[in-house]
Amino acid sequence: QGQLVASGGGSVQIGGSLRLACAASAYSHSTFVKGWFREIPGKDREGVANIDRGVTRFADSVKGRFTISQDKIKRIMYLQMNSLTAEDTAIYYCAATPVPNCSSGARFAPTNYNFWGHGTQVTVSS
């Protein structure tokens, strides 16, 4: 399979916004679930949001603040992050997995994802 390349991380003030992008040219929107995860040092990697054949799901901690979308032609997945808080500071990863690997509720489990991009750091501070 091809690469997943994440970009768009950086530093932002509390209350600000960032948009992450994940180039996933080898991963069709119709056959792969794609997701965003984040990791804070010393903590487990957690699922943030995912998109499965157009259906989007979000962790409770980001609902109403983050949106996930994808450009089906360019095969780029986006994570728009608004109203950022210090608790959103983490390394963010994009990932993909074949649709059959994910049943309802399993889309947030990192262990169900086969393909990972490198991380991009997001730092939110006052």
Q: 7-60 pLDDT, tens per residue?
A: 999 999 999 999 999 999 888 888 899 999 999 989 999 999 999 999 999 999
Which residue is it, tokens 């056959």? Answer: 31
- What pLDDT digit, counting tens, does each position of 105-121 carry? 689 999 999 999 999 99
What does DSSP assign to residue 110?
G
How far is it, in rounded angstroms, from Cα 96 to Cα 115?
A: 5
Q: Which residues in 24-55 are b (16+ Cβ under 10 Å) and which e?
A: beebebeebbbbbbbeeeeeebebbbbbbeee
Mean pLDDT of 72-99: 95
Write down the pLDDT at residue 41.
86
Confidence of residue 104 (pLDDT cuts 50, 70, 90): low
Which has the closest alpha carbon to 21: 39, 32, 7? 7
Cα–Cα distances in angstroms (integers) from residue 68 to residues 45, 57, 98, in the given order: 18, 8, 18
Task: Output the six-digit token pair for 64.
Answer: 């109403």
Higher pLDDT, residue 81 or 2: 81
